[in-house]
Structure 1
Amino acid sequence: MRTAECKVSLDLASSKMSPPDISNSTGEEEAGETDPLFLLNDSMGLHQPGYHTDIIKHLGVQISLITAYSLIILLGLLGNALVIYMIVRYRNMRTVTNFFIANLALADLLVNTFCLPFTLVYTLLEEWTFGAVLCHMVPFAQALSVHVSILTMTVIALERYRCIVFHLGMRLTWHSSFLIMAFTWTVSAVLAAPLAIFREFRYEEIPSINRRFPVCTEKWPQVTSRDGLIFSLSMLLLQYIIPLAIISYAYICIWVKLRNHISPSSRNDSINRRKKTTKMLALVVVVFAICWLPFHAFQLAIDLDLVLRLEEYKLIYTVFHIVAMCSTFTNPLLYGWMNKNYRNGFLMVFRCEDKPDTFHLEGSFRTRSLRRTTLNGRNGGHPPTAV
């Protein structure tokens, strides 16, 4: 049932941040009861008759998991830190779209620093050794980062939809963009709050073999209810399905608008830049959706108790989790591949150079507001914003 604990891996995706439950999944025991002997056997790889040997205990598998998670953490920290550094360091990069991109990078950094190390250790040890405070904070931080990422991508898509499809002259200012980012973090914190509130850190006692080990589990108000399942399905809609539907609609409309747009030859370059930037931002969303799809699908199957008896259940869960976490370092790679400014900036950092004149505000980073500022004087017009 949903309140029992199976120490598999921290669930990052659909806001069910505790490891999925495989004990009592047949419904033969009362909801909320956990067989302590099963928990111990599961954590030590000493399964009772009828249970398979835990393949994650194999040395080769553990080395592979350590390597995969370490690479994701390293690439995520390096790439996202470079993105934020460039936007903070170079004035020409401080546009609304880039501020939102920096917000994405910050959310990914939160995953890399405050999620993946704990996830890796918990997966390998299968005991929660980090204490009561982190039992509440880690799941909250994980859910928070995923919500911020998808909400920020939704905001980017809607802003570009508003400006390109409707040709609205009113652009977002820096002040407005920071308010929107603060709003995304606030909403995300509210949505992630149940993961911090309904948690329990305790020790499981196994008197027959004198074994005591710590666990971090979900603890919903009514143990016999389906609160956990309802919350998980609700977050799946709010965190994945609905935002991706909105984003897809926005980018389809934008693409149709740009494809059918007829303008004087003097504006062809501007249209091409918009197409390139829209393609880059849409690809960011596509990669995010593809990375998270297997994990979301598997998590839904877990919530419905459809896969808990698969022989390689824990390994499959962990592999899908690794695939989902790849989204935390792919964005900087896409920026460097598809945007000249980011590519030049990354090269400058690696070469220890400082040439801000190499930034030409390509694509969404070249804006009407910036051109208006140039025409109206240093202090006139509006700060640069994205179109």
Structure 2
Amino acid sequence: MGPLEGSNSTLTMEKTALDEKLPQGWHAKDFVTPGHDLSGSRSVMMDSTKILGVQVVLIAAYSLIILLGFIGNSLVIYIIVKYKTMRTVTNFFIANLALADLMVDTLCLPFTLVYTLLDEWKFGAVLCHLVPYAQALSVHVSILTLTVIALDRYRCIVFHLDSRISKRLSFTIIAVMWLAAAVLAGPLAIFREYRYEEIPSINLKMAVCSEKWPSGNNRDATIYSLSMLLLQYVLPLAIICYAYTRIWFKLKNHVSPTSRNESQCRRRKTTKMLVMVVVVFAVCWLPFHIFQLAIDLDLVLIFHEYKLLYTVFHVVAMCSTFVNPLLYGWMNKNYRNGFLMFFRCQNKHMSEFLPTQMLLHRTGPGVTNV
């Protein structure tokens, strides 16, 4: 239970007074949002996250996401690194996506859960700046990676161009993505404040981690958050949707009888898998972004269960960090066999599990189907 909870009415009134004093949402994990602050609302909201049953559900949900995300994404990276036949350009991008998700599962979600339950930042000033930055960084890397994959396949399939992306160039692209993401996420590490709020009447001092923008009001936060909504969600998904729509029509309408072979079939299956990854990302993050937009427009006051709604939408968004490995195992035979081989703990070569013809076909120089 949170440190402000008590059995007497005095403590309850003090908590209400503190909630009115602090920017609303200070305890609602504003540090976990990629581009938004939760300050601005002044009304006292209900907090069902203090109900024992709700806390048990939240602990179970976050723990399951962390466990599945850690195991699944670690396995994806392990398979790509260990087996030479899996070291393709597309798979390097998939490994980059898994690394970003793994960072969220290990560096963000445990702190998010504790802060949600305790209503107090217990992890010091350094992590106050690091945790929101890490999550924003990983989300930017994820969407940039999905965009690069879509554009590369668009070049190869729609225009029949041999991709010039070599393995070395793919590493350069990945480095540039991380650098760009680091710059975009930077304000969340810089404009942040770790402070203590005191309640003299009950001799209580609470640690608070919240955004602090130069303007001293919500203007800068709103500008930044809306900019990130555009750059982090709307614009990339528009580009990705356009690319995969063109790819789909190309594969559907421009297939000659002589090209109806295994290579064409693999392209379809791989494209379908990658589209599903994008759909999962978009669907999981949509409720969270809509809620954040409501915060920016000051519409959040209509929600009485403000903190619970925020937490539920955050849980849904975080589901995207563990679903991808499940999609790979379900829709791609190479990954499925790799997962099975790992869990069977058999010391066999990859070629014994993955058909040679599926491993060696290329769509162009430097690009191999996953």
TM-score normalised by structure 1 residue count = 0.85
The answer as to whether partners of 1:13 and 1:292 remain within 8 angstroms in 2 is no
More deviation, 235-244/225-234 = 225-234
User: For residue 374 of structure 1, what is the aligned residue in structure 2?
Assistant: none
1:137 partner amino acid = L
The answer as to whether partners of 1:83 and 1:105 remain within 8 angstroms in 2 is yes
Change (3 A) 1:383 1:286: closer
1:197 partner amino acid = I
CA-CA distance at 1:14 after TM superposition: 4.3
Point out where structure 1 has 5 or more consecutive residues left out of the alignment.
26-50, 370-381
CA-CA distance at 1:277 after TM superposition: 0.5
Counterpart pick for 2:355 among 357, 360, 367: 360
User: For residue 269 of structure 1, what is the aligned residue in structure 2?
Assistant: 262
Counterpart pick for 2:171 among 169, 178, 190: 178
User: For residue 24 of structure 1, what is the aligned residue in structure 2?
Assistant: 42
User: For residue 259 of structure 1, what is the aligned residue in structure 2?
Assistant: 252
Taking the TM superposition and a 5 Å limit, the aligned residue runs for 1:220-259 are: 220-224=213-217, 226-259=219-252
Point out where structure 2 has 5 or more consecutive residues left out of the alignment.
1-19
User: For residue 136 of structure 2, what is the aligned residue in structure 1?
Assistant: 143
Take 1:305 and 1:365, find their aligned partners in 2: how far apart are those partners? 55
User: For residue 278 of structure 1, what is the aligned residue in structure 2?
Assistant: 271
Change (3 A) 1:316 1:257: same
The answer as to whether partners of 2:141 and 2:177 remain within 8 angstroms in 1 is yes
User: For residue 217 of structure 1, what is the aligned residue in structure 2?
Assistant: 210
User: For residue 281 of structure 2, what is the aligned residue in structure 1?
Assistant: 288
User: For residue 189 of structure 1, what is the aligned residue in structure 2?
Assistant: 182
Residues 1:169 and 2:187 aligned together = no
The answer as to whether partners of 1:92 and 1:361 remain within 8 angstroms in 2 is no
SS of match in other structure, 1:308: helix
TM-score normalised by structure 2 residue count = 0.89
Residues 1:64 and 2:64 aligned together = no
Take 1:209 and 1:365, find their aligned partners in 2: how far apart are those partners? 70
**Paired positions, count:** 347
Take 2:356 and 2:278, find their aligned partners in 1: how far apart are those partners? 22
User: For residue 329 of structure 1, what is the aligned residue in structure 2?
Assistant: 322
More deviation, 322-331/257-266 = 257-266
Q: Deviations over 1:59-83 (max 9, x none)?
A: 1110100000000000000000000
Take 2:358 and 2:236, find their aligned partners in 1: how far apart are those partners? 24
CA-CA distance at 1:264 after TM superposition: 4.6
User: For residue 115 of structure 2, what is the aligned residue in structure 1?
Assistant: 122
The answer as to whether partners of 2:150 and 2:243 remain within 8 angstroms in 1 is yes
Take 2:304 and 2:148, find their aligned partners in 1: how far apart are those partners? 41
CA-CA distance at 1:295 after TM superposition: 0.5
Take 2:360 and 2:196, find their aligned partners in 1: how far apart are those partners? 53
Cα RMSD (Å):
2.1
1:355 partner amino acid = H
When you count helix as a share of all residues, which structure comes out higher?
Answer: 2
User: For residue 150 of structure 2, what is the aligned residue in structure 1?
Assistant: 157
CA-CA distance at 1:113 after TM superposition: 0.2
CA-CA distance at 1:266 after TM superposition: 5.7
Take 2:161 and 2:177, find their aligned partners in 1: how far apart are those partners? 23
Take 1:266 and 1:257, find their aligned partners in 2: how far apart are those partners? 13
SS of match in other structure, 1:262: coil
Q: What's the % identity of the aligned pairs?
A: 66
